[in-house]
Amino acid sequence: MKRRNYISIAAGVLLLVAAAFASRYSASAQTPPTQLPVYGYQVIHTYPHDPSAFTQGLIFLDGVLYESTGLNNRSSLRKVQLETGKVLQQQLVPGEYFAEGLVNWGQDLLQLTWRSKVGFVYDRNTFALKRRFSYAGEGWGLTKDSARIILSDGTATLRFLDPKTFQQTGSLNVTDRGKPVMELNELEFIQGEIWANIWQTDRIARISPFTGIVSGWIDLKGLLKPAEKTSADVLNGIAYDPATNRIFVTGKLWPKLFEIKLIAPK
């Protein structure tokens, strides 16, 4: 066989090997992990929480908690002392509205309602109602990044709103290994991630704000004692203090609010 034929055959084999390697590497890079990390928790402090508060939104700001509570004829906006659970300031929401998520933007507080497609903007200092805004679909949770308001509506899709006009500017589908994560509820933006309570579960999803991919889960099972759970509803409420890196969680009709520290999976 001539030399050029040997060279041609050798080159062809090398191309086949390279193509097979590239295909295998590409498939491996795109295949999602078979199991995501599940973080546990350590309770750092336990604080009292109003057991009549149907917690829908929770934020920590300037040393105090701001809380949105739900249910028709019981909804409110509250300023709450962390250490005692005492309500320092309160604005009742008209009885026809079922209040939901809460977030701050500048000197304002923004509050959603469930199915009324109406949101409220309050002055953070006085709780005076400044304006209303509208949005499509249901309102569940609220948080923000540096440029956008982020809204959940109980589906697997998060929506981005312009903080001035409240018009939708984009959306993000949330997935766990390629499958939609439904019933995204209360939200908090923590160290570059969106954290979301999943309704009717004891879990929080850690979500990339760029891809919507869940990078891990936080399992908060066991925060309440069995006797406390008899009169409580589901886990709902995440607040973050970036100055001290503290994380607070509570739930609807929970008698306690917890400061927690995550425990990485082994």
Do residues 80 and 180 both lie within one domain?
Answer: yes
User: What kind and span of H or E run contains 53?
Assistant: none
Do residues 3 and 75 both lie within one domain?
Answer: no
Do residues 129 and 78 both lie within one domain?
Answer: yes
Do residues 246 and 166 both lie within one domain?
Answer: yes
CA end-to-end distance (rounded Å), the chain: 60
User: What kind and span of H or E run contains 15?
Assistant: helix 3-30
Do residues 73 and 132 both lie within one domain?
Answer: yes
Per-residue pLDDT of the chain (266 residues; tens, 9 = 90+): 444 444 343 444 333 434 443 443 333 334 455 789 999 999 999 999 999 999 999 999 999 999 999 999 999 999 999 999 999 999 999 999 999 999 999 999 999 999 999 999 999 999 999 999 999 999 999 999 999 999 999 999 999 999 999 999 999 999 999 999 999 999 999 999 999 999 999 999 999 999 999 999 999 999 999 999 999 999 999 999 999 999 999 999 999 999 999 999 98
pTM of this structure: 0.87
Q: How many domains, in total, are found in the chain?
A: 2
Do residues 135 and 177 both lie within one domain?
Answer: yes
User: What kind and span of H or E run contains 65?
Assistant: strand 64-69
Do residues 181 and 114 both lie within one domain?
Answer: yes
Instruction: Determine the Cα–Cα distance for residues 151 and 185; give it in Å rounded to an integer.
Output: 9
CATH assignment of the domain containing 211: 2.130.10.10
Do residues 26 and 72 both lie within one domain?
Answer: no
Do residues 80 and 201 both lie within one domain?
Answer: yes
Domain coverage including residue 2: 1-31
Do residues 109 and 237 both lie within one domain?
Answer: yes
